[in-house]
A and B are shown apart, each in its own frame.
Chain A
């Protein structure tokens, strides 16, 4: 029951976040589903850097696929689908430790959070690279 409520909250949060960014309504169901899957992968792997990376990769790849299926741009799906993964909790906990003058745990959690953001960014990079089309004959590239 608790898991179900959290899953629904995750989907709703991703959708409403999309609405803040003026995301077209016809793409919101993709966002909700991809956001939920990403968060599920993260939760099932039990947290940590690998979980951030693999869930980021899931979201990135699914967004590229959704963009191709719907013939829209990837950015439309990606931004709101990735937001449930962004480690806001770690950020809060490290700030809480900092204000309690517990510097060692503030540093530890802070570094873990930053590394988590890095892992997500890396995963998105890999997902984009997997799907990007390289055009060797592009006139822009020849002039470099």
Chain B
């Protein structure tokens, strides 16, 4: 097997891997890998992707070669999905070669996420502006800013401790509501605006949209898996909030 065709298969596999690890749609991972294979002249390419891994196989210099990858940790990285998409477009229409594509994809793969404090600030501001949207004033805004920032910290800690995502939803719902209720003891304000503002960024909007988009492309397994993920985490988040309200009401 020549180094060139090896790079072709590796870049297709890496593209699929980055998309799945960045929480991209499953059909996008499949289509991108197949498109890259076809452009590099690998025939009989087949891929089967799930939100949690993929199998890619193609005929390379007369032999059937395959790549298997299990996606363990996913994070939401829209920037990486966008960049992989750009690389795949260049491969198809701008004549980017095998080595070039692999280098570009490796660079995207190694790209560090935004700094923690920037994400934390965005999180806090999202929560704060949502509380204003739900009828809060400047007091609700500042309380939401504080609780939102703490929630993001709690989320980061739970991620580091490798808590399963559903348990994380419950604990975060519990934490945000408890923190809001505690904060409202100190500052007067509307409990509804504060708690709703803080839980908005926690709601599974991405899982819901991806479930719809995967199902529409005929990717039923991924669609159902993502739909179940969205439903479970919304229900568990609400259960967490309800438990906190029960505790707070005592």
Contact = CB atoms under 8 A, between A and B. Distances in A.
Contact of A100 (B195, B237, B249): B249
Contacts of A22: 76-80, 113-114
Given A75-B24, A75-B81, A88 B126 contact: no
A95 B78 contact: no
Contacts of B76: 20-22
A99 B246 CA distance: 5
Contacts of A89: 134, 192, 196
A9 B23 CA distance: 27
Contacts, number: 145
A78 B199 CA distance: 19
A9 B132 contact: yes
B133 A9 contact: yes
Count chain B CB atoms within 10 A of each CB in A73, A75, A100, A128 and give the residue with the most.
A75
A137 interface: no
B143 interface: no
A121 B234 CA distance: 14
Interface residues of B, number: 52
Count chain B CB atoms within 10 A of each CB in A5, A17, A21, A78 and give the residue with the most.
A21
Interface in B199-223: 199-201, 203, 205-206, 208-213, 215-217
A129 interface: yes
Q: Is the interface of A mostly helix, strand, loop or mixed?
A: helix
Nearest to A77: B78
A73 B76 CA distance: 15
Given A82-B205, A88-B203, A89-B196, A13 B130 contact: yes
B98 interface: no
B32 to A, nearest CB: 10
B11 interface: no
Nearest to B113: A22
Given A9-B133, A117-B208, A125 B199 contact: no
Contacts of A79: 78, 205-206, 209
B25 interface: yes
A120 B212 CA distance: 10
A75 B126 contact: no
Contacts of A21: 76-78, 206
B123 interface: yes
Contacts of A95: 238, 241-242, 245
Contacts of B85: 72-73
B63 interface: no
27 contacts: A12-B125, A12-B129, A13-B133, A16-B129, A17-B126, A20-B123, A21-B206, A22-B78, A22-B80, A22-B113, A23-B79, A75-B78, A76-B78, A83-B205, A86-B203, A88-B134, A88-B199, A89-B134, A91-B234, A91-B238, A91-B241, A92-B195, A94-B238, A99-B245, A124-B212, A125-B212, A128-B212
Interface of A: 5-6, 9-10, 12-13, 16-24, 39, 72-76, 78-79, 82-84, 86, 88-89, 91-96, 98-100, 117, 120-121, 124-125, 128-129, 132, 140
Top 10 A-B pairs ranked by shortest CB distance? A13-B129, A9-B132, A99-B245, A19-B122, A95-B242, A16-B126, A12-B129, A22-B79, A16-B125, A9-B133
